[in-house]
Structure 1
Amino acid sequence: MSSIPLLQLALDYISLGPAVAMATTVAPHVDVIEVGTPLCKAAGIQAVREIRAVCPDKIILADLKTPDVGGLEAAMAFDAGADWMTVIGGAPMATVESALEVARQRGREVLMELTGVRDILAHAREWKQVGVQRMVYHRGWDEQTFNREWAEDDKVIIRQLIDMGFKVTVTGGITIELLPFFRDLPVSVIIAGRAIHKAPDPAASARELRSAIHRLWGSSQSGYGTASVAQSDTRAADLAAKAVRWGVSDLGLLLTVDGRSCPGCDAPDRLCQSTVTQVQCPPGVSAAQVAQALAHIFGQSGAFGPVSADVFYLDPAQLDRLAPDRVTELMAATGNALRQLGCAVDVNAGVSTTNRILAAW
């Protein structure tokens, strides 16, 4: 996963109009827009459609906290434009599996909401077996009312979930002052609600939160987790990143940087200073869909993931083993995932170019 968490805005409104207005105002400064549970209940699935209409380039989460009929509610959420939806942790396994099946068919994702779950790790092991990849670790509104604060015990559980391979979202009274508490955890998403929409200037508040997240999680890193690569492996990581960038281009995809003004991957002043390659999704395909398809082919890995609704990243430095064959496998999986999603990509050309660059390993 990306080592810099995404910022998610929680729209926990009970009226659709103010929620749409807030989403429109804040969208440029966040990565994910959550149609909160109160809003889903108050305005129905139409709330998801309305938020998607005003935020076409954002990841949209429908926080349904589905307790039953998982497949049906997942289909409702995804048909309305959601990229992600939540299932409550107390739901039967059949509900979880039916929601996951619909998500796989649509190239979307299901998140398990841990509110009220006892023995989280035991449940996590069961969910892992059926393919759950994301979880929401939640300090709820009522808990906040009764002054239940974030504690080191929470961090221990979050760390264990991440070590199990889950992408963990944290939420519950998150403020800019609280962010350093989570700094040593590679969480995937950080949710803020009232810290943004109750602020005098919500857009400025979101902008400050996002800046703080990038400063805290990126201060010792040049990109998405490349600090984890040992110094002796720097050359190998740079070569792998070059192979990925060239391979992606020969797949027929566009990078988010304009390579025409770049002096080249081997130049000290190259545009891509980290091992991360950010890739523009082909038309009609979301980053969440690409990540889901990649996970199905390649397995769970921090070497890929969504950056925004229509941009995904590849980072060979995050592979479980930094070696030429794994880099090539990542490129092949990327091409095949996009092909499964109906995209016209040249997998052979991408893999061939990747191997040609890696010949200098």
Structure 2
Amino acid sequence: MKLQVAMDLLTVEDALELAGKVAEYVDIIELGTPLIKAAGLGAVTAVKAAHPDKTVFADMKTMDAGELEADIAFKAGADLVSVLGSADDSTIAGAVKAAKAHNKGIVVDLIGVPNKVARAKEARALGATFVEFHAGLDEQAQPGFDLSGLLSAGEEARVPFSVAGGVNLSTIEAVQRAGADVAVAGGSIYGAADPALAAKELKAAII
């Protein structure tokens, strides 16, 4: 299982600083949607230039104009681009078309999708590299939230998948046990007193 850091920061400088601290312990560096909206796709270019050996994920959460938005992100240096699972099939297919042209990948994010298992299978059939079973920050903040629903859906879908939303040292073993290909850690790394140590410990917990 690979480890992905989700950088929900707001400046290129902060993103480069965090990436520099954790790069040796992570496989995928994700530039979160707030970062891309605040700093632009130049942030993707800067992080890829600083870490050319890492997979750089632009979390675009594209909902429309799939081919165009994916193409822009790939040209900026992204290796993976996200499209929302709630988008039309044609949007996902368009993004996949752009990915094939650049020899890159599309991740379909299932945030807010009611039937995640069915949509995961559909997204994979449309050409997604993997699907992301994702609970957003707002959902995680709700009383009683836990990862079990995402993990069971991931197990049932039987497609390559990542898990995002509440991945930390206490849950990463369960994420791996569910068969996830990628564990996505955000706040448990960037919110830690020592992000490098947090990333190192998460990486060490992956068997």
2:168 corresponds to which residue?
Answer: 175
1:206 corresponds to which residue?
Answer: 199
Tell me the alpha carbon deviations over residues 198-222 of structure 1, each in whole angstroms, 9 at most, x when there is no partner: 22221111111100113xxxxxxxx
- More strand by proportion, 1 or 2? 2
Deviation of residue 36 (structure 1)? 0.5
Tell me the alpha carbon deviations over residues 167-210 of structure 1, each in whole angstroms, 9 at most, x when there is no partner: 11101121101123224222111011111122222111111110
Equivalent AA in structure 2 for residue 79 of structure 1: K
1:23-172 correspondence runs (5 A): 23-161=19-157, 163=158, 166-172=159-165
Structure 1 gaps, min length 5? 215-361
Equivalent AA in structure 2 for residue 177 of structure 1: S
> Bigger CA drift: 189-198 or 61-70?
189-198
Of the three residues 6, 13, 37, the one matched with 2:9 is: 13
Kindly tell me: are residues 129 and 51 of structure 1, through their superposed partners in 2, closer, same or farther at Cα, counting changes over 3 Å?
same
Tell me the alpha carbon deviations over residues 39-88 of structure 1, each in whole angstroms, 9 at most, x when there is no partner: 01101111100111111110000000000111111111111111100001
Query: For the residues of structure 2 that align with 1:123 and 1:55, how far apart are their CA atoms?
Result: 33
Kindly tell me: are residues 193 and 151 of structure 1, through their superposed partners in 2, closer, same or farther at Cα, counting changes over 3 Å?
closer
Query: For the residues of structure 2 that align with 1:143 and 1:29, how far apart are their CA atoms?
Result: 27
Greater relative contact order: 1 or 2 (C-alpha under 8 angstroms, separation 6 or more)? 2
Q: SS of the counterpart of 1:90?
A: coil
Deviation of residue 29 (structure 1)? 1.2
Kindly tell me: are residues 148 and 61 of structure 1, through their superposed partners in 2, closer, same or farther at Cα, counting changes over 3 Å?
farther
Q: Give the TM-score normalised by the residue count of structure 1.
A: 0.55
Q: Give the TM-score normalised by the residue count of structure 2.
A: 0.94
Query: For the residues of structure 2 that align with 1:118 and 1:56, how far apart are their CA atoms?
Result: 37
Kindly tell me: are residues 34 and 202 of structure 1, through their superposed partners in 2, closer, same or farther at Cα, counting changes over 3 Å?
same
Equivalent AA in structure 1 for residue 173 of structure 2: P
1:192 corresponds to which residue?
Answer: 185
* Number of equivalent positions: 207
Deviation of residue 90 (structure 1)? 1.1
Query: For the residues of structure 2 that align with 1:151 and 1:83, how far apart are their CA atoms?
Result: 27
Is the 2:151–2:163 contact (alpha carbons within 8 Å) kept by the matching residues of 1?
no
Q: SS of the counterpart of 2:156?
A: helix
Structure 2 gaps, min length 5? none
Query: For the residues of structure 1 that align with 2:34 and 2:119, how far apart are their CA atoms?
Result: 26
Q: SS of the counterpart of 2:145?
A: coil
Is the 2:79–2:105 contact (alpha carbons within 8 Å) kept by the matching residues of 1?
yes
Larger Rg: 1
Deviation of residue 153 (structure 1)? 3.4
Deviation of residue 140 (structure 1)? 1.0
Query: For the residues of structure 2 that align with 1:208 and 1:124, how far apart are their CA atoms?
Result: 30
Query: For the residues of structure 2 that align with 1:129 and 1:25, how far apart are their CA atoms?
Result: 37
Query: For the residues of structure 1 that align with 2:15 and 2:38, how far apart are their CA atoms?
Result: 12
Q: % of aligned pairs identical?
A: 36
Kindly tell me: are residues 153 and 21 of structure 1, through their superposed partners in 2, closer, same or farther at Cα, counting changes over 3 Å?
closer
Query: For the residues of structure 2 that align with 1:11 and 1:151, how far apart are their CA atoms?
Result: 20
